[in-house]
Structure 1
Amino acid sequence: MLFHYHFWTPHVEETEGFYVNAGFQIYQRIGKYQGDFQNFDPPLVWDNFREKNILFRIIEARKGSINITFGYGKKIKFDHIGFLVSEKEQELICQNADNMNWTVDMGERRTFIATPYSFRIELQTNKEIADSVTDNIRIEELRLETKKKGLEDDLSILFGKPVSSIKSVFGETVTINEAVIKGLSSKILVDPNGVRIMN
């Protein structure tokens, strides 16, 4: 199940504000302050630390089965998408990735697969990463722009079946153009990183 995407962005506070206004809840904020990584989690709000010059590594926003993360970057850069999978599915996907000569980085908490499309795929087996995996609020589809053709075919090989939740267009950049999110606002919203969010 597609549940996640991550951006690096110079618009960290604005991105958090956008998702909070869309009904997401902030779960954690980890940032580098005075040389050390520290937590600035809720109930802390931006007024508590805005003046501290923190370089945020990750801010995590959740709603239903959706988990969106972002961290500070000098420019907007789409980093990865994430799928919630069983351990058996993960094993099969990693084997397929090896067969495709895609680099697999297996970690204790999550696994990343580097794709030739200039973004990564996260495989997550821990269902607690989302508020509710049975919730009606979910990412139905992500529409990606890539500089290389063939993404859907490669994802079918990687997952061993078609991945209908990912659509791609060939373009000048690598990003998420649109996220179709079930159970969110009926209005079309655009986040500070250019992702159009529609129901």
Structure 2
Amino acid sequence: MLFHYHFWTPHVEETERFYVNNGFRVFQRIGKYQGDFQSFDPPLVWDDFREKDILFRIIEARKGSINVTFGYGKKSIFDHIGFLVNEKEQKLICQNAVNMNWNVDRGERRTFITTPYSFRIELQTNKDIVDSMTDNIKIEELKLESKKNGLEDDLSILFGMPVSSIKSVIGETVTIREAVIKDFSSKPLVDPNGVRILN
């Protein structure tokens, strides 16, 4: 199940505000301050730390079965998408990735697969990464812009079946053009990183 996307962005506070204004809750904020990684989690709000020189590594916003993360970058860069899978599925997908000569980086909490399309795919087996598995609020589809053809076919090989939640278009950059999110907003909106969100 597609549940996640991550951006690096110079618009960290604005991105958080956008998602919070659309019903997400901030789960955590981790940033580098005075040389150390520290938590600035809620109930702290931006007025509590805006004047500090914090380099945010990750801010995590959740709603239903959606988890959106972002961290500070000099420009908006799409980094990865994430799928919730069980351990059997994870093993199969990782083997398929190896067969495709795609790099697999297995971690304790999550596994990353590096694609030749200039973004990564996270495989997550821990259901505690989302607020609700039964909620109707979910990412139904992402339209990814990439510089080369073949993404949908490769994802079918990787997952061993068609991945209907990912559509691709060819363009000048690598990013998420559109996200179709169930129960998001009655009108189309664009997040600070250029993701157009449709209900």
In which range does the TM-score fall when normalised by the shorter chain?
over 0.9
Aligned-pair CA distance for 1:186:
1.1
AA matched with 1:2: L
Gaps of 5+ in 1: none
Give deviations 1:80-127, integer Å, cap 9, x for gaps: 000000000000000000000000000000000000000000000000
CA distance in 1, matches of 2:131, 2:31: 23
Instruction: Spell out the pairing of 1:43-122 with structure 2 (5 A cutoff).
Output: 43-122=43-122
CA distance in 1, matches of 2:48, 2:145: 37
Aligned-pair CA distance for 1:133:
1.2
Aligned-pair CA distance for 1:158:
0.1
CA distance in 2, matches of 1:35, 1:128: 30
Aligned-pair CA distance for 1:166:
0.1
Instruction: Spell out the pairing of 1:1-199 with structure 2 (5 A cutoff).
Output: 1-199=1-199
State the TM-score, normalized to the length of structure 2: 1.00
CA distance in 2, matches of 1:111, 1:169: 26
AA matched with 1:65: S
AA matched with 1:192: P
Structure 1 consecutive aligned stretches of length 4 or more whose deviation exceeds 2 Å: none
State the TM-score, normalized to the length of structure 1: 1.00
SS of residue in 1 equivalent to 2:152? helix
Aligned-pair CA distance for 1:16:
0.2
AA matched with 2:157: I
Aligned-pair CA distance for 1:134:
1.4
* Corresponding residue pairs, total: 199
CA distance in 1, matches of 2:186, 2:165: 19
CA distance in 1, matches of 2:192, 2:131: 24
Aligned-pair CA distance for 1:184:
1.1
Aligned-pair CA distance for 1:136:
0.1
